[in-house]
Amino acid sequence: MSVFTIREERCKGCGICVTFCPKQVLEVDELSKVHAVRKEDCIGCGQCELLCPDFAIFVDKVDKEAAK
Partner 1 sequence: MMERSYEKYFRENRLPHIWCPGCGNGLAMKAIVMAIEEKGLSQDETVIVSGIGCSSRASGYMDFDTLHTAHGRAIPFATGIKLANPKLHVIVITGDGDCTAIGGNHFIHGCRRNVDLTVIMFNNEIYGMTGGQGSPTTPLGRLTTTAPYGTSVRPFDACHIAMAAGATYVARSTAYHVRHLAKLIGEGIDNKGFSFIEAYVQCPTAYGRKNRLGDGGAMMKWMRDNAVQLSAWEKLPEEKRQGKFPIGCFLKREAEDFNMAYNELVNRAGGAR
Closest CA relative to residue 51, chosen from 18, 16, 24, 21: 16
Is residue 58 involved in binding partner 1 (CB under 8 A)?
Answer: yes
Q: How far is the CB of 52 from partner 1 (least distance, A)?
A: 8
Which residue among 3, 27, 35, 44 contacts partner 1 (CB under 8 A)?
3
Is residue 24 involved in binding partner 1 (CB under 8 A)?
Answer: no
**Alpha carbon of 19 to those of 24, 64, 66, 67, 68: distances in Å?**
8, 27, 30, 28, 31
Site residues, partner 1 (CB under 8 A): 3, 5, 9-10, 12-16, 18-20, 32, 50-56, 58, 60
